[in-house]
Amino acid sequence: MLEVRARLLGAGQVHNRLFAPSLKGLASARCEAPGHGSAIHPHRHRRPRRSHGGRESRATFTRTVLLVWGAVAVGTWAAMPQLLAFSSTVTTTPEQRAAVERSVYYGNCDAARAAGTAPIYRGQAGYREGLDGDFDGIACEPYRY
């Protein structure tokens, strides 16, 4: 009988059928727990992801670059008055700065706010230390809640 099978199936197939009959069910065996892969690959818990040709990584990189660029732009825009005031104090002499600051006088911060000039930065017209309560170079700062 064995020789008949060998002639019909070929030597390699006879070998597999004779010596490994118990492996027949392993190829289709699966782990019964939900979400687990096959018993042959017990550490594979999900199907391999399909390649998108790098589109996802490029989109993530582009999104990150845009977010960083936006954060820098917003930060620069928010700090612009302080940067301009600082650059004007660096480039002008103390006499020129004092002349500009004395060119306009506001009795208090309410008067400066009514004129629409508050906050007033060091080096700008109307700035004086009497209006700058915390001496940080910004007079008549907006109210903080």
Nearest to 122 by CA among 96, 91, 101: 101
The pLDDT of residue 42: 59
- What DSSP character marks residue 120? E
- The answer to whether position 3 is within a domain reads no
Task: Identify whether 20 is part of a domain.
Answer: no
- pLDDT at residue 9 greater than cutoff 70: no
Angle CA 12–15–21, to nearest 5: 125
Structure-derived torsion over alpha carbons of residues 134, 137, 141, 145, reported in degrees to the nearest 10: -50
pLDDT at 14: 47
Range from 12-21, 81-90, 115-124 carrying the lowest mean pLDDT: 12-21
Q: Which two tokens stand for residue 105?
A: 């006088």
Rounded to an integer, what distance in angstroms lies between the CA atom of residue 38 and that of residue 61? Answer: 35
10 lies in a domain?
no
Asked if the structure places residue 137 within a domain, the reply is yes
Residue tagged 């589109």 (tokens)? 55
Q: How many domains does the chain have?
A: 1
Res 49: pLDDT: 64
> Does some domain include residue 26?
no
Residues spanned by the domain of 126? 55-145
User: Residue 38: which pLDDT band, with cuts at 50, 70 and 90?
Assistant: low
Residue 117 forms part of a structural domain: yes
